[in-house]
Structure formats: structure tokens, C-alpha cells
Structure 1
Amino acid sequence: MTTATECIEIQVDSRQVLDERLDDAVRGLQQIAMETGTQGILLTRHKAGHYTAALSDQVPFGMTRELIH
């Protein structure tokens, strides 16, 4: 079971904007993850241009993983 204490939804039309928003989301989640030291970051692609970035206990601390639905 995944526990997400923070989730950021990202919807874009441009690859450049997507990269910038994903980078910003990961940086923000990294700061939150540093406080607990127990969760990693899971990036999920739901469809073209629609992603979520979330803290997840399914990802080891200090790691970022991508899931494509």
C-alpha cells in the first residue's frame, strides 16, 4: 500500500514545460522527504501531459522512480 503525504498534479502541453514542472515538483518533494527520511518520490505518467509526483513508502528514501500507466 502506498502512503503519499504530498502529491503534486502536473498537466502540460509542452515537453519543455513538463521538464520544468517535474524538476520543480521533485525538488519540492525532496525537501519534504528530508524531514522524515523514510519515503522516496514516485512520478506517475497517467497519459500524455498528465503526471503526478508524490512521496511514496513504495520507493526507498533518496530515490525517484517513474511509473507509466
Structure 2
Amino acid sequence: MNTTTEVLEVKVDTARHLEERLNDAVRNLQDVAVRTRKHGILVTRLNPGHYTVSLSDKVPFGITREQSR
């Protein structure tokens, strides 16, 4: 089971905004992760233009992983 302590949802209508908004979400969670030093960041593509960015204890601290569902 993947335990997540914080999740940000990213929805975009254009590819132009995708990288910028995903990077912003990852940076926000990096600030949180540094405080606990227990979670990495998991970026999950749910659908085209719809992603979640979350802290995950299944990803080592300091690492960002991507997955698709």
C-alpha cells in the first residue's frame, strides 16, 4: 500500500502549461519533504492533463518518481 501524506492535483488544458505546473507542485512538496526527510515525491499521470503529485513513503527521500495509471 502506498501511504501518502500530502497530495496536490494538477489539471491543465494545454501541454504548454504542463511542465510549469508540475514543476511548481514538485517544488512545493520538496519544501515539505525536507522538513521530515522521510518521503520522496511521486508524480502520477491519471489522464491526459490530469496528474497528482504526492509525498510517498514508497519513494526514497530526495527522489522524484513518475508513474501512469
Q: Same fold (TM over 0.5)?
A: yes
Superposed structure 1 runs of 4+ greater than 6 Å apart = none
- Quick one: which amino acid aligns to residue 45 of structure 1? R
* Partner SS for 1:20: helix
Partner of 2:63: 63
Partner of 1:36: 36
- Give me the whole-angstrom Cα distance separating, in 1, the residues matched to 2:66 and 2:3: 16
Aligned residue pair count: 69
- Give me the whole-angstrom Cα distance separating, in 1, the residues matched to 2:60 and 2:3: 13
Identity %: 55
- Quick one: which amino acid aligns to residue 52 of structure 1? T
| Structure with more of its chain in strand, by fraction | 2
State the TM-score, normalizing by the size of structure 1.
0.95
State the TM-score, normalizing by the size of structure 2.
0.95
User: Which runs of 5 or more structure 2 residues have no equivalent in the other structure?
Assistant: none
- Give me the whole-angstrom Cα distance separating, in 1, the residues matched to 2:41 and 2:16: 21
Task: Report Cα offsets for 1:29-54 as digits up to 9, x if no partner.
Answer: 00000000010000000010000000
User: Which runs of 5 or more structure 1 residues have no equivalent in the other structure?
Assistant: none
Q: Within 5 Å, which residues of 2 pair with 1:1-69?
A: 1-69=1-69
* Partner SS for 2:4: coil
